[in-house]
Amino acid sequence: IWGCISLKRATSETTRDAVELALNEEESGEGRRALEELRSRSMAEDWRGERMKNTADTLRKKERGDGEGGDGEGAAEGQSKMSKALDSIKVGGANGSGAGEGEEPTDANAAQRTAHELDLTSLTFPSGSHTMTNKKCHLPTSSWRAMHPGYEEVHVPASRSPMDPSEILIPVSELPKWTHDAFSGMKSLNRVQSKMADVSLKSSENLLLCAPTGAGKTNVAMLSILNVLGQYRKEGVDDEKDAMEEEEEVGGEEGKKSKHEGHFDLSAFKIIYVAPMKALVQEVVKNFSKRLGPYGVQVRELSGDSSLTRQQISETQMIVTTPEKWDIVTRQGEGRAYTQLVKLVIVDEIHLLHDDRGPVLESIVARVIRQVETTAEPVRLVGLSATLPNYADVATFLRVDPEKGMFFFDHTYRPVPLQMQYLGITERNAFRRFQLQNEICYEKAVGQRKSGNQMLIFTHSRAETGKTAKALRDLAMERDELSLFVREGGATQEILREEMSTVKNADLKEVLSYGFAIHHAGMARPDRELVEDLFADGHIGVLCCTATLAWGVNLPAHAVIIKGTQIYDPSKGRWAELSPLDVLQMLGRAGRPQYDTEGEGIIMTAHSELQYYLSLTNLQLPVESQMIKSLPDHLNAEVVLGTIQTIAEAVDWLSYTFLYVRMLKNPNLYGISDKAAKEDPTLKHRRTDLAHTAACMLERSHLIRYDRRSGALQTTPLGRIASQYYISHTSMALYSRHLRPNMADIDLLRLFSMSGEFTHITVREEEKLELSKLAMRVPIPVKESPSEPSAKINILLQAYISRLKLDGFALVSDMAFIQQSAARIMRAIFEISLRRGWSGLAKLTLAFANMVAYRVWRSQSPLRQFKNVPEIVARKLERKSDIEWARYADLTPSDLGELVGVPKMGRTLHKLVHQFPKLELSAHIQPITRSILRVELGLVPDFEYDVKVHGYVQLFHIIVEDVDGENILHHEMFLLKSTGAEDEHTVVFTVNIMDPLPPSYFIRVISDRWLHSEAVLPVSFNKMILPAKFYPPTELLDLQPLPISVLGEAALIKLYSFAEFNPIQTQTFHHLFKTDKNCLICAPSGSGKSACAEFAIMRMLVNDPQGKCVYVAPKEETSFNTYLDWSKRFGSILRPGQVAQLTGEVAPDLKLIAEAKIIVCTAKQWDGISRRWRQRKSVQSVTLFIVDDMHFLGGDAGPTMEIIISRMRFISAQKQQKGDATQQLRMIGLSASLANAREVGEWMGVSSKGLFNFSPKVRPIPLEIYFHSFDQSNFASRLMAMGKPVYNAVMRHSEGKPSIIFVPSRRQAQLTAIDLMTYYQSIEGETFLGKEAIPEEVAKIAGNLREPALQQVTTSGIGFLHDGMVE
């Protein structure tokens, strides 16, 4: 230690040498070792510097080398590019110039600056949606405060603004005639809607509307929806006709439904409405379905547990969804096929950006805006929000034009002005605090009842509603003020007593007759509806309820009390503050628009939170971005989608987020120093650091591959799974580290309980007892003690599957939270085990995913998966465990009835047993090579398909396992559609054959959604004969290339324009030109095989004056091109008509053959001519038979080729037998490289010397092949997912050089061309035209083209070509 410190402190060389000497001579030898270690360390750093310098030098040399050959400009340009790149890595130039340390890097260097990793956790807001960035809160002047024992009270009076006389409310009748149906029952729009009517209905500007709850934002959304409808209103539908129809309309509802039928092109657009809560989604669906019904518009919900089939989505014009669900749909390439039709996205409650769920909104909006920019197809964004101070930032984020599309209405626009009271409770003692809250509630309630008003009291748990109602009733009894709530002997009292008899809920029964009531989602529906009706009719004075009432049901009251602002949040595992969304929504219920001049809102909260709620409701709480918290996960989703493929693109993507808008506005809050913000006005460094950090975190979790040098980001299978199943990168890293192929259920559940999703769940003191009791009752043993959080998660999941009853309120919500993620996580682990080929774990996790979905254990009766099986019957079936499940199908209805002891159930059970998905399997195997096995699997559905039970599609996994059942050798999905439920289906796939050959494989077909539905088929190999090993390819010898003069004849030499033959032609020349033996040449395309055929023709022309050559190609195009080439070249040395192409007509063809020396035709044509060869002398006189493209023997044209080659061999053999040896038939085959060329050669009669089978690698120009695979199962969405990668491949591999792209269909050719054009223009802002091209000339040529799409893309340097085009 002394040595190290002294060396570090040494200022001069002499002291340094002295210390080194002392270390060297130290006796124990430790000193010398320390010194060597130090030297190697410092060397490494110097070496890095050296290496940087060397790289710089080599790059410079290379520049100069390239520059000499090229023109001066190119070199200079390269030089400047180069020096920028060098400056960026701080390497001085040869003359010592270069960016010094102190200099500020210029913008070009900024991009190349090395990125730093940041500590994201320190940058996130610890309090999430509760973040408060304003220091002070200014209240209106007429507010006042008062201190009471135990609490402080702040009053803020209601604010009103009289209407400006110039303001005009637009009557509905002034809107276009066809829109009136959407506003039936309304006379005119309100103030907010009138101001916005023009922009929202008549333009397609992006909008942001900030207005208080109840200001009629829904109708603004409606106007923007009508704007889209108006764009797709068919031409020629005139308004007069509408007016006439309106007068004739007497047919009631039916007439109304079809009123606008056929007036709109409903298949051309989709509208997405994003609402934050499920309850809200359902309300929007109900409201809009009714109002858009007359236009034939279908509105459907897409949220947590409801998903739509592709069919349903294509029939729906408006999808109402939650942010998370829409994120998942657009994340997966599957969804892209229909997201392209989206023309309008409405984001309701966009102040949700401030919440923990905000990042999801940021990512959706950023995705929409980037999609608009890359595809150039406009999508309108409409944001609706509560009033917030920094609405301008939200507008910037939504790309709203502040002049045209930004509207802000403050509290004065509330339909009923709201007087607010804030009570900050200072009481510390929990029991006294509870009493105090109830007393305050009571005081306020009495005050409201005295003036004859109703009030809502919002509490934050279901049990709390009952407790509060009872406490209020008790206080009223104590103080003898019950008559305030229900008048003695009045009608109300009678009604309440009458209704009490129907009530099921015990708490409600106790308090209802006193004029109090409770309402929460846990009550039976009749009870809830009764309470809603009684409250609406004014019979109930005080209603205690939970937040669901605020979201789902529109029941306004004069006054609203929010009793306490703490709510239990299972994702955090503790009591947390209510989200601002909920608070605003609850206050929105205060004040009844028809009756009240003002409403009252009362918030009770802890004194420390007073300022937060004052800021929130008085427009002083800025909305911040919570993106940093989940940045890596959202980045991963974009990488998987393919929209981000380099760090530069990630940096660009960050500039579309709300985070970026807020970082520019308030850099300090997001951890950026003033100096950094000043030096880097666009925050490019900061974004680079953020993107780099997120990429590093993802790379550590194995979700992406990150190449730091080029900045390329590439997704991995784990990354795809994480994005698809919405799983955090930390959890994925945990699974990939701890998963083992042979895990049992105990280990799997332990791993599950360690997931990152549940990190916040804790075990409370009061739960330990209940958890230990549950631990005794759950089936799978839990190793840890019940006080461990992981044990709690494990126990709760098992309790959920076992359907055990829980007591603790917090436990119930924890269980619900765990259960929501369980099926998703199990599915993800299932996908991981499939990717890793672990059969046992895959089957286990799939079973667990279904156990969670059905709440059935594997040991229970499979029939429990049907909805209508009584518990008693299922129990009885489980007791009869001696009868295997497979045997149930053979039992008759009476047997089954007897088995459970309920004869009546026999028929139902029999029906269910036969509805249980079951497949019969059969397989046909065929080894293609020694290592590949072709399997043809036959699947016959052996159950009664019922769409009500099974849906339209049943999904099955086909898994091929090795003999131990441990490894998955092949996996694919099989879809059984309801339409094909009766037929036999065949699936063909190939599997690798292991070496040494195992005795058998197992094919398993497992249902994706049903436990116990699997079929196994063993495939035995003991009779299978593997094909022989392939012979190695012919080696390409290193020969001196032959000059063309070897042909000897001057006329023949003239046929070639080049000087010497290539290696393949050189090696085959002797055999073709100097002998008459049969020959087969297999070489990659483009290696000059046609010249080899020409050698044989020349030999025939020189040696055999009577010779005839037939050239056969399987495809017409090939034979036509060969004919054009040969008639030009051989035509110059032969008489006219001696090079002929057959027409396919027999008589003229026979004439052509008789006269010609070289005949070119297709396999089909030659088959037609040579069938009657015995009568046709001209066919017999053929002496040279050349077959091109012989690799097509395995394709469609194969049978025809096989017949004609066999026939020609037969003719040749017949001639030899007759002793007609003068006309020996010679056969030449040309083909691409083949694996089994030897077998083909032997069949054609080629000796081993005449067989040339070159390896595919010996192309004259070497070829690199890259594979890029996609796992979208749907064809359309797979092609869409390929769009950006195709563009990237063109840019990476052949920028500035020509590229050819092959696509599956004509339509796709056009689409791909348009995609490439839009990508290039949006990303690079340029076109694909070459450097020498003159755009004006290209445009002129394009103008003469007939295809409109082709005209458009040609000017950008892209063309497309397919059969359907005009010649």
Task: Give phi and psi for 768, each to the nearest 5.
Answer: -60, -40
- The mean-pLDDT minimum among 20-34, 243-257, 276-290, 813-827 falls in 243-257
Nearest to 496 by CA among 484, 513, 482, 508: 513
* Residue 1150 to residues 102, 660, 1141, 1161, 1212, Cα–Cα distance (Å): 89, 79, 11, 13, 20
What pLDDT is attached to residue 276? Answer: 87
The confidence band for 336, taking pLDDT boundaries of 50, 70 and 90, is low
> Is the pTM higher than 0.85?
no
| Contact residues for 1314 (Cβ-Cβ < 8 A; gap 6+) | 1349, 1352, 1353
Rounded to the nearest 10 degrees, the angle between the axes of helix 647-654 and helix 684-700 is 120
Q: Which of 104-118, 422-436, 802-816 has the highest mean pLDDT?
A: 422-436
Q: Tell me the pLDDT tens digit for each residue of 145-160.
A: 999 888 999 999 888 7
What pLDDT is attached to residue 835? Answer: 92
- The mean-pLDDT minimum among 255-264, 298-307, 467-476, 718-727 falls in 255-264
Positive or negative, the CA dihedral 302, 305, 306, 310 is positive
What pLDDT is attached to residue 74? Answer: 40
Nearest to 803 by CA among 778, 769, 773, 771: 778
Residue 1108 has pLDDT above 80, yes or no: yes
What pLDDT is attached to residue 262? Answer: 77
What pLDDT is attached to residue 255? Answer: 40
What pLDDT is attached to residue 90? Answer: 37
Residue 73 has pLDDT above 80, yes or no: no
Q: Write the DSSP assignment of 412-435 as a string of letters.
A: GG-SS-EEEEEEEE----HHHHHH
Q: How far apart are CA 43 and CA 1107, in angstroms?
A: 78
What pLDDT is attached to residue 1079? Answer: 95
- For residues 671 and 123, the answer to whether their CB atoms sit within 8 Å is yes
The confidence band for 1229, taking pLDDT boundaries of 50, 70 and 90, is very high
Positive or negative, the CA dihedral 1087, 1093, 1099, 1102 is negative
What pLDDT is attached to residue 1223? Answer: 67
Please tell me which residue, 45 or 447, carries the higher pLDDT value. Answer: 447
Residue 1273 has pLDDT above 80, yes or no: no
Please tell me which residue, 69 or 1296, carries the higher pLDDT value. Answer: 1296
What pLDDT is attached to residue 546? Answer: 86
- For residues 1002 and 1017, the answer to whether their CB atoms sit within 8 Å is yes
The confidence band for 1246, taking pLDDT boundaries of 50, 70 and 90, is very high
pLDDT (average), residues 354-382: 89
What pLDDT is attached to residue 747? Answer: 93
What pLDDT is attached to residue 504? Answer: 86
- For residues 307 and 185, the answer to whether their CB atoms sit within 8 Å is no
Q: Tell me the pLDDT tens digit for each residue of 1298-1342.
A: 899 999 998 888 888 888 888 887 777 677 777 777 888 888 888
What pLDDT is attached to residue 42? Answer: 56
pLDDT exceeding 70 applies to what percent of the chain? 92
Residue 96 has pLDDT above 50, yes or no: no
What pLDDT is attached to residue 107? Answer: 42
What pLDDT is attached to residue 548? Answer: 76
Burial track 323-357 (b if 16+ CB lie within 10 A, e otherwise): bbbbbbbbbbbbbbbbbebbbbbbbbbbbbbbbbb
Q: What is the DSSP letter of 515?
A: T
Amino acid at 366: A
Q: Tell me the pLDDT tens digit for each residue of 620-664.
A: 788 899 999 999 999 999 998 888 888 999 999 999 999 999 999
What pLDDT is attached to residue 254? Answer: 41
Residue 243 has pLDDT above 80, yes or no: no
Residue 62 has pLDDT above 70, yes or no: no
3-state class (DSSP) for residue 1264: coil
Residue 565 has pLDDT above 80, yes or no: yes
What pLDDT is attached to residue 849? Answer: 93
Please tell me which residue, 112 or 764, carries the higher pLDDT value. Answer: 764
What pLDDT is attached to residue 898? Answer: 87
Q: How far apart are CA 546 and CA 533, in angstroms?
A: 17
Q: Where are the beta strands (DSSP E) in 374-519?
A: 380-385, 406-408, 418-425, 455-458, 516-519
pLDDT exceeding 90 applies to what percent of the chain? 36
pLDDT (average), residues 1144-1164: 90
Could you give the dihedral angle defined by the CA atoms of residues 966, 970, 975 and 976, in that order, rounded to the nearest 10 degrees?
-70
The confidence band for 333, taking pLDDT boundaries of 50, 70 and 90, is low
pLDDT (average), residues 822-827: 90
- Per the DSSP assignment, residues forming a β-bridge with 344 are 271, 380
What pLDDT is attached to residue 82? Answer: 36
Residue 64 has pLDDT above 80, yes or no: no
Q: How far apart are CA 1164 and CA 1196, in angstroms?
A: 12
Q: Tell me the pLDDT tens digit for each residue of 1200-1216.
A: 999 999 999 998 888 88
Q: Tell me the pLDDT tens digit for each residue of 431-470.
A: 888 899 999 999 999 998 888 889 999 998 888 899 999 9
Amino acid at 1300: I
For β-strands 559-563 and 953-961, DSSP reports them as unpaired
Residue 60 has pLDDT above 60, yes or no: no
- Per the DSSP assignment, residues forming a β-bridge with 1005 are 958, 1015
Query: Locate tokens 């008790």: which residue?
Result: 474
Task: Give phi and psi for 1231, each to the nearest 5.
Answer: -155, 165
What pLDDT is attached to residue 768? Answer: 87
pLDDT (average), residues 764-783: 89
- For residues 867 and 856, the answer to whether their CB atoms sit within 8 Å is no
What pLDDT is attached to residue 1029? Answer: 85
> What would the two tokens of residue 802 be?
């076992």
- The mean-pLDDT minimum among 442-456, 574-588, 926-940 falls in 574-588
What pLDDT is attached to residue 1220? Answer: 64
pLDDT (average), residues 811-822: 85
pLDDT mean across residues, the chain: 85
Q: Write the DSSP assignment of 1127-1152 as a string of letters.
A: HHHGGGTS-TTSEEE--S-HHHHHHH
Query: Locate tokens 């995705």: which residue?
Result: 367
Residue 81 has pLDDT above 50, yes or no: no
Please tell me which residue, 445 or 17, carries the higher pLDDT value. Answer: 445
Q: How far apart are CA 973 and CA 960, in angstroms?
A: 12
Report, in this order, helix, strand and coil percent for the chain, each rounded to 5: 50, 15, 35
For the chain, first and last CA: distance in Å?
A: 85
> What would the two tokens of residue 1130 be?
């051989």
Q: What is the DSSP letter of 35?
A: H
* Residue 1029 to residues 21, 929, 993, Cα–Cα distance (Å): 69, 8, 14
The confidence band for 1264, taking pLDDT boundaries of 50, 70 and 90, is confident
pLDDT (average), residues 461-489: 88
